[in-house]
Each structure stands twice: as C-alpha cells, then as structure tokens.
Structure 1
Amino acid sequence: MKHYTLPVSPSTVHWGYFSKAVEPALVLKSGDRATIETLTHHANDDYERMIEGDPAAEAIFHWTKEQKTISRRGSGPTEGPFKVGAGEGVGVHLLTGPIAIEGAEPGDILEVRVLDVRPRPSCSACYSGRCFGSNVAANWGFHYHDLIEEPKPREVVTIFEIDTAGDPYAKAVYNYIWTPQTDPDGVVHPIIDYPGVRVDHRLVKRRENILQNVRVPARLHFGTMGLAPAEADFVSSIPPSYTGGNIDDWRIGRGARMYYPVAVDGAFFSVGDPHAAQGDSELGGTAIETSLTGDFEFILHKKDDLGGTILEGLSHPMLETDEQWSVYGFTYANYLESLGDNAQTEIAQHSSVDRAMRDAFRKLRRFLMTAHKLSEDEAIALMSVAADFGVTQVVDANWGVHGSIRKNVFRCY
C-alpha cells in the first residue's frame, strides 16, 4: 500500500463534469490511499473568507477580462458565443481528479473508503485558521416558487462559520439577497446561473444577527463523488446516476464505504462538492458548501470475484457504514441511457420523487434477494417493517431517494 497526496491546483481539478477523456491527475493501485483536497465552488460568495490568501484557491478562481484560469465550467459547449460562459454551467461542482485505478475494467466495482474528513481553514489575514461555508437558497431549490414573503422570487446566500473545537458545529454569520452580478467578461447574472462568479459585496446588503441561538451540528461529507460514465466524454456534475456523482447524502463522510460500478477502463474517480452540513432533501438547493480535505482508500473488486458477496449484481452506487447499507434510487437509474442525446439538459424536466422511490425499492429488493438470499415475499416484508426510505435530494434534477437496511436485523440471537 502507498499513500499519496493530491492537492487542489489548476491542473488537478476540473469544473462541472465527470469525464473519461481528461488526463488522470493521479494513478493508484487497489489498496492505495490518498489524501485529497477539495474546494467548494461557492467560495466566491465570500472571497475574503474563503479564497483570499490561499494560493491554490486564488489560482483556480482567478478570472479577469484578460485571463480565466479554468475556462470550462460545465459539460456544455466550449466554443462561443456563450449565454453565460464556456461549459455554460451545465454542471457546477469543482472536482478533484480524475484518479485512475490500475486494472479497473467495466463490470468491476470500486470501493472507496472515507477514512477521515477535515475542513480547509481560511488563509485570509483577517480570518486565518477559521473555517467558513456558504448556503444558497437558490433558483433550483424546491422552495423557490413557493415563497410567502417579499421579494418573490429571491435567492439568499447565508455565510456560516464552522467551529471545529470539540463537537463541530456551524453558526450563521450573515446573509444577503443575490443582486445581479457582472462577471469579468461583461455577462450579467441576474440569478445564480454560472459557477465561480465573484460576488461584489458593494452591491449586496448584509443582514447581521441571523439565526441567533442556532447551532447546526456539522456533518462533514462529500456531496459529489463517483466515477466517469461511459455514455459521453463530458457529463454534467449535477444529476447523479449509475456511477455515482452528486448523490448529496450527508452519510458519505468519515467511516463510509461507497461502492461504484466501473463503466470505463481505469474507473476515473473524482470527488468534490464538500459540505459541512446538510439535511435530507437539501431543500433550498445547497448544503453548507465549504472546502474539505479527505483521506481515502481505494479497493478494486474484480467482476469475476463478485459472486456470493454483497456486491453481486450491483449496477448502482451503494453505501455501507458500520450500522447499515443504503442504496440510491433516482428518477432515472441511468438518465444518460434513458433520455438520449439531450439527457443532460432535459433531465430536470422529468424530476420525480415517485420514480426515485420506485427505483430505490427495486434496488433494495434486489440487494436483499441477492446478497441475503431472501425470497421476494421475504424481502418485501422486511422492507416494510425494517427498512427506512428517505428523500436524499430534490434539487439535482435526477431526484434521489435512499433505501436503508440496518445490519443488526440479520444477526442471530
């Protein structure tokens, strides 16, 4: 086993997409470990707290009229004219990677163990050593067209500070309503529609003393983590799918084991969308988006060795913790295959919790019948009395429902 370090830099991150066509930032063997840095794509909501003084973050987010360090942000076109910018924001997350796994082939399963997670401290002279994150009640949030106070509609950015002394928690610092922002290329953004636009704080009105006497328990995790799909060279980071991606489950933190079906040679693992805290559903559109560093271990399970294990027949992401297994149902199990050439832009028109629930049910039924040798009637009975289904997220176009079964129901007394 070897242990590698993969820092964030303009050459080790890609913005807004998973890809089988990008040169790997690192190549590992099964059993290797890696310390991987990740940056939140929302850092420019408060440049002073989350970017200033951090050389890597400053380089990645650098955007002037003369130079844009990372031009492509999303899986959309890279040749203009553009509506909002290269990549068109069809995918928004800053992802570190890809990491290629030697010997990985389609049909294999890659196990990714999250060994540890920790916040990336601010490097700003004013806030050195403190940790911050941003929550955005955004235009893609479930709430957006169901507001009762004026102005309607509105997008609201809330900046949190994360306290890591003792039991970690987050406390709100201030918030502001998004006002139109003009990027260095002269494009006006009346709503949040392109990642990495720096907010000019002279144009927004901060509201202090918000969420007083409220402390949010921190649940450090990675919202977007997975492998490159086979269907296209550049795939939006927003909708999750059969190789993982933007699942947005707060349980994918320290101690989690994620299993992903390999779709392309080398697997091409990427990770990002780091979160300090999130609730089931991610209702407003985002979690507390912060920057994190994680320690990971990678185990490759070859397809010929899966029979008789919990991974037999696995064709979708699955989570294992010390207490339970969880499967993830989506509106479409593989939206890229189901919706064709325009899948990445059309998927949001099909979002459905009902379909995601149906998919989660079918996946958990298969798991109980295959991994635990239950009959269909036994599996359905057990799901009804012992499985927990919850709404993972209703903001990522391909909406998600998780189905979980506790391990202790299988113990013999």
Structure 2
Amino acid sequence: MKFTQFLKTKGAIASIFMGIFYAVAMLGIFLPGYTAIPGNIDKLPIAIVNDDAGEYGTMIADQLKENLPFEEVKTDLTNKRALEQLEENEITLVVHIPKTFSADMENGEVSSSIDFTVNEAGATVVSSSMTSIITQINNQLSAQFSQQTAQGVLMNFNVPEEQAADMAKMIETSYVGNVVTINDIPDGMHNNMLPMFLTMAGYVGAMIAAMQLVASFNESRGKASKTRLFVYVQLTALIIAVLAGLASMGIAYLVNEPSGELFLSLFGQQVLNYMVAFNFTAMFIFLVGEGGMILNIPVLLVQTIANGATITRDMMYGPYEWVSYISPMYYSVQAYFANMYSSISPAPFVWGMIAVGLGAMLINILLVAFVHKKVPLEASLVEDTKDVINNTEITV
C-alpha cells in the first residue's frame, strides 16, 4: 500500500478532519469567550451600603458610585441583605461604610475603617478582580480623601496650617480599608479548581461512554427489543458512574483532602453528574450516530466557559450565558462550590442538574422510539422464545 492510499483510508481521513476541526472549534470558542476578561468586569453587580450619617460617608459613597467601573451599583440594600446576596453570588462586592465613620475620621480614630467584602466561593476571576479593585480604591481614598479633606476640616477649626498638616498626616494613617472575605477557599489553585475538575472528569468520561454504549446499542439491535437495550445502556452507565465516582473521590480526597463529612454528598453528586452528562451527550449520538461527537466537542468547549468556574454569568457574552441555563456543567460546578466552600444550600443547583438530565433522557427515549426503526429479532432468539413457551406449557 502506498502512502497516498493510506491517507485515503477512513481512519486517516477522520483523524485529519478531527485534528483541524478540534483546533478550529477550541480556538474559535475559547478565544472569543475569554475576551470577556477583563472586558466585561463592568457587568458585575456590586453594593455600596452607607450607614454613615456624616458628610464623609455620603461623599465617599457618591465618589465610589461615580468612579467605579460597574454598571450596576446597588445602594438601597441594608448591610445584612447585601451580605446575603453576596453569599448567593447575586452581587460580587459589598462596600460598607459604618455609621461612625465620619465621627471617627474627624477625631482621628485608628479604628475607623470601610469594609470591602468579597466571596471567594465563586468564579476565579471575580475574587482576583475585586481584590485588585479594592487596592485601587484604598489607594485613591488615602491619597485624595484622607489628607486633603482632613486638613481642610482642621483649618476650619482655626488650627494653624503647619499643625493642621501634621495632624492630617496622622488622620491619614488612621484610615483602614478592611478587606473581608467570606467562604475562604484553602490555599492552592487545585482547591479553587476542584469543582470544575470533578465536573470535567465526569462529563468527558460520560461523553466517551455515550459514544461507545450507543454503538453497542446499535450493534445489539435484533438481539433484544429497543426498550430492553435502552435500559441496558442506562444500567451500564449507572455502574460506570458509581465506579468512576469512587475513583474521582479517591483522587480528590488524596490530593485536596476535603471534609470527610462531605463524602456521601460529593460522591452522590459525582454519580448524578455522570448520569446527567451521559444522557446529555448521548442525545447527539442517538440522533446522528458516531458523527454526534462532532457536535459534542463544541458543546463541551462552550460549557468550559459557561460553567461559571472562571467567569460569572454577568460577565458572559450572550451565547455562553444562554448555554449556562441548560448546561449540566454549570449546575454541577455551582453545586460543588456551594457544597464544599459556601454556607448556602447546593439543592437549587442539584435540582437544576436533575431537570437537565430528565429532559435529556426524555429526548433520548423519543429518539429511540421514533428515529431508530424496529429491527426483527434474530431467528435463533425467536426459536428460543418458542421453546421456552412450549416447555412452560408442557410443565403446566
């Protein structure tokens, strides 16, 4: 066989096609998707809570609202409600000006501070971006507010200019930008990325299994009814889900060492994640056969952005945000964040996963029922069935 003949084989042609297709799909999906960082930082909602009745608090709140690069700044929330929304990742930063701030600043109280609270149990870009923005805010307040404003106030009380300048420097050092984090994630990128890695491990394994098990379904046609074969496929996927879930937990507990109390809930979610991903990816295989993998690959790549591990829905471009609402990966990642690192319940995300999985399974049932034509049972199976019936009659 000549090399040119080899290149014309089905395997060579498929490999060439997939190599080009995967490169185009990956770069064509990833690069536009990640241009949202930092371009869409302004889409993140924040809250400014001003409990200070003095002029300093109002001035700072107005200045922050005007100068911060955010389109949505909530100013009508109590601090308690703002922190609740932060916990649920409905907002990404809470700036709280305490009610004694003006009085403390005028008196040079060292304890005077503004609280900047961020939630670490969420998209990676959010916490890092907020930390950078908080640093800039504190630098600006220290440079523009503390010394100049304090000096002006002191001079109004007939304090000599030189003495006012010295006192202003003291007041400047009394300002503290207090950075508060809730739901701290243990140090190490492996901890921050664990929700995504667990989800990806289950999803990719389920996608490959969908291709192989649906192929077995098609090869076994005529040996059993479509209904029985479909049940066999689901049972096999469930067995794999349990085994793969145990393997996933083994690695996760060996490397990341999460709480032992979470084992059953994490294991249960990983099994659910696998089954939902299996039925979700099997839709394309049941629909168009092995060529469904060509559809599954870009769907997978889109979900790596739309799952919310790196950027939030608020920052996503429209197509990625739309996908997140039907994405098994989004609900899985958010459920893992809530379960492992947050104090909110993962139940809404788990139910979201279940809804996607049931919808995908229903579509698969319809595809098997109406797209896959009936195949007559093999003659040997028919004869075996007759023998069983006859033997039963004789026994009776």
Structure with the higher strand share, 1 or 2: 1
Q: Which has the higher helix share?
A: 2
| TM-score bin, normalised by smaller chain | under 0.3
Q: Quick check: which has more Rg, 1 or 2?
A: 2
**What's the TM-score, normalizing by structure 2?**
0.20
